[in-house]
Structure 1
Amino acid sequence: MDLDQLQSVPRVAFFPDSFVEINGAAMTCRRLADFARSRNYPYLVIYACRKTERKQEGSAIYQSLKRSSLSFPLDEELAYDPLFQRHTKRVLKQILEFKPDVIHITGVNDVSIIGAYLAWKLQIPLVGSWHTNVHEFAAQRLSNLFRFLPENISKKVSGFAEQKILDGAVLYYKMPKVVLAPNQELVDLLGKGTERSAFLMGRGVDPEKFSPTHRTVSDDTIRLGFVGRLRAEKNVRKLIEIEDGLIAEGVSNYEFLIVGEGSEHEYLERRMKKAVFTGFLEGEELSEAYANMDIFLFPSETDAFGNVAQEAAASGVVPIVSDKGGPKYLIEHDVTGFIAKNISDFTDYASMLINDPARLGRMRKAARDSAMSRSWESIFEGVYDAYRESIRIAEARKIAAINGNGGHSN
């Protein structure tokens, strides 16, 4: 392969495990496909859906594959189909027709397994991107499940499971030649664990959709917001403790604005004193909800990126996030938001902002300015650099193998 070929736009077959679902990973995958289409880059997307069909929009081809009745849920709409491999011949036909230079998978699931298998079978360079901390999700759920056990035993069980799942995931990511991760901590972990080239793949934000201009309230109430799934792995029960802490400090001019649905909804609604639960929102309603917040509380410790914190910042809302997981990389502490080590920190930082309107105003502007500097365009251009790197590595290995067998290059 000459230099011109390497610098040309790669033909990519994309196997996202989450594409039509409502979550951050699916949103990022859809935006990546949209980016390719907007640039007229050839892009084939293979994903699971409720029916099997093929459609083409510009330079992008979309092949959805129906999951069987034996599928079981992994998380909300996301599922795993043990019979999904029955689609392999159909996908192979698509791959042979499309002739990709690179195959891109996103995780350990039924869709990506087909992509990884075909990359191996056809000797096509493979790129893998990490979108979800499945090991931490599993640990949180196990911890929630075994609440009846003594805390030290529950922690040992969930900790053991978390490490084993992480070990398995890292082993799976040894198959790609290049790996992408949403924060530097995961880039380092995957790079070291897989001994592969590892690159950062963050997430951008739409500064028009998420903007202070969508604000519709103008009273003296300070709104503390949360957006996301109301599930154990998001640590949402900590919102109750934060509210109790604020009340203990004498704060009264507040209201919680909680956007999302999930199994913890009823538990929260029964125990929180001043909270509005909107359920799932999207479009203009979501933009308005963000903009009506003043402080964004995100106690999740399992998010690989935490795009909701970035959307909140773009909306002119000051995020307070955990010091565990990916969201902390989005925050400049005490400038664009706060990084909390424990629930006391969440309470103290929120109380400080509530009692200091001038500081809250400065930080709201700083949060907005910081978020606006992150564009989807630059992030996806970086993904294409990773595609080219995987091709370069594959070509270099081919040349090394030929030279090792006698030095012939024909």
Structure 2
Amino acid sequence: MRVAVVTESFLPQVNGVTNTVRQVVDHLRRTGHQAIIVAPGPGPSSYDGVPVVRVRSVGLPTYRSFPIGLPDAAVHRALADFRPDVVHLASPIALGAVGLRAARRLGVPTVAVYQTDVAGFARHYRVRADLLASAWVGRLHRRVDRTLVPSTTSYAQLRAMGVGDLHLWRRGVSLDLFDPARRSAELHARWAPDGECVVGYVGRLAPEKQVRRLVEVSRLPGVRVVVVGDGPEREALERRMPGAVFTGMLGGADLARAFASLDAFVHPGESETFCQTVQEAQASGVPVVAVAAGGPLDLVEHDRTGLLYDPRRTGGLEAQVARLVADPALRADLAARAAGEVAQRSWASVVGQLVEEHYRAVLRPAAHRSAA
């Protein structure tokens, strides 16, 4: 099978969309399929032997290092030259719309993966366009042949927009990388020399992640906050949490070691369609506290595989973190239960489902929808 992946984000940007695209392309190559990636530039022109076609882009206002793809004839040319059997639209918004238009003109079926809550993203960046963004996202997904969503919350969200042919497609986790055995006593002691409980966050330091909620957590007695990642809010967060450890961006074995060396993991953002870092923490043997909204609702069963907090309740996050800090047995129990469940979610099985179930479904003869 020949698969063209049109993605809103790719290397050197490191985020959930990029990671998922990499896993999809890796699996396609391993299983004998051919792929091409179309992504906003600048960046590398190939990924592990797979061509990456770079198109014109502009930096996102207030986040200039995050490129947004622009309409570019290179998208149509790339698809026409490659002659794909299916076009995979990764988190389509701007470049995805261009890819969709090109695919329809070429008569190629499309599978869209919903991965970004654009309306929530706009609200956090104080752009008064959430209703417009929702309308745009709904229109895009109504025009593709099949839409895959990562969580039941996302399913309901797109269903309310009138999107049909929706299917749950969750994310895998790199079980060979994220493992409790990677815990480092030396790293933990360096972070918490006085024996503090290490509570960590991993991800972009951007408004929509709501990392600022960790300020109150950092004030809990006996807690050392560790922040892994980078982004536009880092400087402000460092000022507000002077006692926290900021590691910057980590990857590969360094990231896995950092995850496993935490005593608890926190993800406070309400706009997550899935929340991959929750799974990575669970696979690393670390108990999780997550917001009771969006994707984490599918990944964390309160008081069994982690703890959830109500973002509308003042002090809710600090209260749940304080429970974990005070109760090592609870930490161990939650971590063990979560690790047992996440052990079934390998990337190989998840991407295999994408290819064999979802790609092949749209290849069946079907009447193409007329242009909306």
TM-score higher than 0.5:
yes
1:116 and 1:76 map into 2 onto residues whose CA distance is 25
Aligned to 1:132: 116
Is the 8 Å Cα contact of residues 178 and 284 (structure 2) preserved in structure 1? yes
**1:204-259 C-alpha deviation (Å, 9 max, x unpaired):** 11123111211112664210000111111111111112334x3xxxxx32211111
**1:105-129 C-alpha deviation (Å, 9 max, x unpaired):** 1244453233212221122212111
2:328 and 2:59 map into 1 onto residues whose CA distance is 49
**Matched residue count:** 358
- Pairing partner for 1:73 from 56, 60, 66: 60
Cα gap change, 1:109 to 1:185, in 2 (>3 Å): closer
> The residue matched to 1:378 in structure 2 has which SS?
helix
- Pairing partner for 1:307 from 255, 260, 276: 276
Cα gap change, 1:289 to 1:93, in 2 (>3 Å): same
**1:259-279 C-alpha deviation (Å, 9 max, x unpaired):** 111222222222225311111
1:269 and 1:190 map into 2 onto residues whose CA distance is 37
Aligned to 2:204: 229
Aligned to 2:168: 200
Cα gap change, 1:269 to 1:89, in 2 (>3 Å): closer
Aligned to 1:324: 293
1:163 and 1:194 map into 2 onto residues whose CA distance is 14
> The residue matched to 1:65 in structure 2 has which SS?
strand
Is the 8 Å Cα contact of residues 103 and 119 (structure 1) preserved in structure 2? yes
2:64 and 2:228 map into 1 onto residues whose CA distance is 16
* One-letter code aligned to 2:54: L
- Find out whether 1:265 has 2:234 as its counterpart: yes
Aligned to 1:154: none
Deviation at 1:311, TM superposition (A): 0.7
> The residue matched to 1:210 in structure 2 has which SS?
coil
2:329 and 2:299 map into 1 onto residues whose CA distance is 23
- Pairing partner for 1:397 from 362, 367, 372: 367
Aligned to 2:177: 209
Deviation at 1:92, TM superposition (A): 4.3
> The residue matched to 2:161 in structure 1 has which SS?
helix
Is the 8 Å Cα contact of residues 55 and 72 (structure 2) preserved in structure 1? no
Q: Considering only aligned residues, what root-mean-square deviation do their CA atoms show, in Å?
A: 2.5
> The residue matched to 1:32 in structure 2 has which SS?
helix
Cα gap change, 1:299 to 1:53, in 2 (>3 Å): closer
Aligned to 1:7: none
- Find out whether 1:35 has 2:24 as its counterpart: no
1:200 and 1:182 map into 2 onto residues whose CA distance is 6
- Find out whether 1:336 has 2:325 as its counterpart: no
Cα gap change, 1:53 to 1:243, in 2 (>3 Å): closer
Aligned to 1:114: 98
Deviation at 1:321, TM superposition (A): 0.6
Aligned to 2:192: none
Is the 8 Å Cα contact of residues 80 and 109 (structure 1) preserved in structure 2? no
| Mean CA deviation greater in 345-354 or 71-80 | 71-80
Aligned to 1:64: 53
- Find out whether 1:374 has 2:345 as its counterpart: yes
1:309 and 1:92 map into 2 onto residues whose CA distance is 35
Cα gap change, 1:207 to 1:107, in 2 (>3 Å): closer
Deviation at 1:53, TM superposition (A): 4.6
1:15 and 1:167 map into 2 onto residues whose CA distance is 21
- Find out whether 1:243 has 2:218 as its counterpart: yes
**1:36-60 C-alpha deviation (Å, 9 max, x unpaired):** 1111123232223326856884xxx
* One-letter code aligned to 2:68: Y
Is the 8 Å Cα contact of residues 76 and 99 (structure 2) preserved in structure 1? no
Cα gap change, 1:89 to 1:42, in 2 (>3 Å): closer
Is the 8 Å Cα contact of residues 191 and 197 (structure 1) preserved in structure 2? no
Is the 8 Å Cα contact of residues 177 and 196 (structure 1) preserved in structure 2? no
- Find out whether 1:44 has 2:36 as its counterpart: yes
Deviation at 1:164, TM superposition (A): 2.5
Instruction: Show structure 1 runs of 5+ residues with no match.
Output: 1-9, 144-157, 247-251, 402-410
Is the 8 Å Cα contact of residues 287 and 332 (structure 2) preserved in structure 1? no
Residues 280-295 of structure 1 aligned to structure 2 (within 5 Å): 280-295=249-264
Aligned to 1:360: 331
1:195 and 1:209 map into 2 onto residues whose CA distance is 36
Query: Rg: which structure is higher?
Result: 1
2:44 and 2:307 map into 1 onto residues whose CA distance is 46
Aligned to 1:147: none
* One-letter code aligned to 1:166: S
1:18 and 1:259 map into 2 onto residues whose CA distance is 20
Cα gap change, 1:52 to 1:323, in 2 (>3 Å): closer
1:258 and 1:54 map into 2 onto residues whose CA distance is 31
Instruction: Show structure 2 runs of 5+ residues with no match.
Output: 190-194
Is the 8 Å Cα contact of residues 223 and 257 (structure 1) preserved in structure 2? yes
Is the 8 Å Cα contact of residues 179 and 190 (structure 1) preserved in structure 2? no
Name whichever structure is richer in helix by fraction.
1
Residues 142-157 of structure 1 aligned to structure 2 (within 5 Å): 142=126
TM-score of the pair, normalised by structure 1: 0.80
1:274 and 1:176 map into 2 onto residues whose CA distance is 48
1:162 and 1:349 map into 2 onto residues whose CA distance is 31
